[in-house]
Amino acid sequence: MRIEALRGAALSGKAIDAGDGAPRAAALPMIVGAGGMLGRHLAEILIPDHPDTVCATRDEIDITDYFGTRWNLERLEPTVVINCAALTDVDGCEARAEEANRVNGEGAGLLSRACREVGARIIHVSTDFVFDGASERPYREDDAARPLSAYGRSKLLGERRVAEENPDHLIVRCSWLYGPYGRSFVSAILEAARAGRTPRVVTDQHGTPTYTADLGWAIRRLLDMPARGVIHFANAGVCSRLELAREALRAAGLAVPVEPIRSDELSRPARRPAYSALDTARYAALAGEPPRPWQETLADYVAATAAG
């Protein structure tokens, strides 16, 4: 549903357990940035259980416009706002650092302030790029954030502004996100292979891939949990970009060679962390089960995109 269809939307009267034994009204979610790769998939997941979900694209809610954002929140009365809005062009952010800080940093904080003032919880989506990649184990939520890029710095600023503006917040960090509704590393590899080109892929970046469907379901579960602060979600397992590319090609049935290279051979404007795997133990404890393996979700993605 788009925002125009939900003028005057009212809260559901259904009660759920808030986790402390006290019932509270069922969540009325609002997705900000609903036109993006994650936002579109998240809407598909939420609407069957929450048919009054408000889905607002960046043309409908500009998070850098505080008064317009607050007016929409007051009008539509969401109980929880999921912020998927972001400037995600990692290399582009190097030349547009001020804009990145305005959208990913200050804009996220303004949205969080508006949520607090109307009594709504905020779930803010962040990134593994807040880390410097120097760790030798998956990053935990309380590990020090030291971003290497303008994009990472803007997202860390957003995390801090969200937390400062609204105590009722949950920051969900994900990594290496891909899905059927936008361009990603995985889609670029498959596109190159299908066009008859040999993909050039770095061997010295390791992380945890995240499928938008699984992240969407994780957020769906977290809606009804009293979790606050920061939580990591990614699919299980650690791989290199090269391993991810080869598995994507194998799953798609494409017998195309991959040219291994090092990061410094690409000469890209933004530095990437060499290792940014995320520890998802906190999420697993809350949900009662660990995330699915990345190989399994990658196969699901390839099948879904092949089916259109």
Sign of CA dihedral 138, 144, 147, 148: negative
Backbone angles phi, psi at 112, to 5 degrees: -60, -40
Asked if pLDDT for residue 96 goes beyond 90, the answer is yes
pLDDT of 16 reads 32
3-state SS assignment for residue 164: helix
CB atoms within 10 A of CB 308: 5
Residue 18 above 70 pLDDT?
Answer: no
**What does the DSSP assignment read for 104-145?**
IIIIHHHHHHHHHHHT-EEEEEEEGGGS-S--SSPBPTTSPP
Confidence grade of residue 6 (pLDDT, cut at 50, 70, 90): very low
Residue 23, classified by CB atoms within 10 Å of its CB into exposed (0-12), middle (13-18) or buried (19+), is: exposed
Q: What value does the mean pLDDT of the chain take?
A: 90
Instruction: Give the pLDDT of residue 195.
Output: 94
Which pLDDT belongs to residue 27? 79
Is 301 labeled as catalytic in the residue annotation? no
* CATH number for position 76: 3.40.50.720
CA-based nearest residue to 159, from 78, 229, 235, 58 = 229
Q: Is residue 299 in some structural domain? A: no
So what's the pLDDT on residue 19?
40
**Residue range 99-120: mean pLDDT, rounded:** 97
| Residue 83, beta-bridge partner list | 32, 124
Contact indicator for 3, 76 with CB cutoff of 8 Å: yes
CB 231 within 8 A of CB 172: yes
Catalytic residue among 66, 139, 151, 275: 151
Predicted confidence (pLDDT) per residue in 229-286, tens digit: 999 999 999 999 999 999 999 999 999 999 999 998 888 999 999 999 999 999 999 9
Which percentage of the chain shows pLDDT scores above 70?
91
Q: What is the pLDDT of residues 162-218, one digit of tens each?
A: 999 999 999 999 999 999 999 999 999 999 999 999 999 999 999 999 999 999 999
Instruction: Tell me, yes or no, whether 218 lies in a domain.
Output: yes
| Residue 102: DSSP 8-state | I
In a domain, 29, yes or no: yes
Task: Give strand ranges (E) for the chain.
Answer: 15-17, 23-25, 29-32, 54-56, 80-83, 121-127, 169-174, 177-178, 200-202, 206-207, 210-211, 229-232, 239-240, 259-261
Judge whether 19 lies within some domain: yes
Provide the residue range defining the domain that includes 212: 3-183+208-238+276-294
The answer to whether the CB of 109 falls within 8 A of the CB of 158 is yes
In a domain, 66, yes or no: yes
pLDDT at 56 over 80: yes
Query: Which pLDDT value is given to residue 308?
Result: 67
Question: Is residue 57 domain-resident?
Answer: yes
pLDDT at 1 over 60: no
pLDDT of 11 over the 70 cut: no
Task: Evaluate whether residue 308 is within a structural domain.
Answer: no
This prediction's pTM? 0.90
Structural domain count, the chain: 1
- Residue 245, in any domain of the structure: no
* Pairing outcome for strands 177-178 and 210-211: parallel
Query: Does residue 7 register a pLDDT over 80?
Result: no
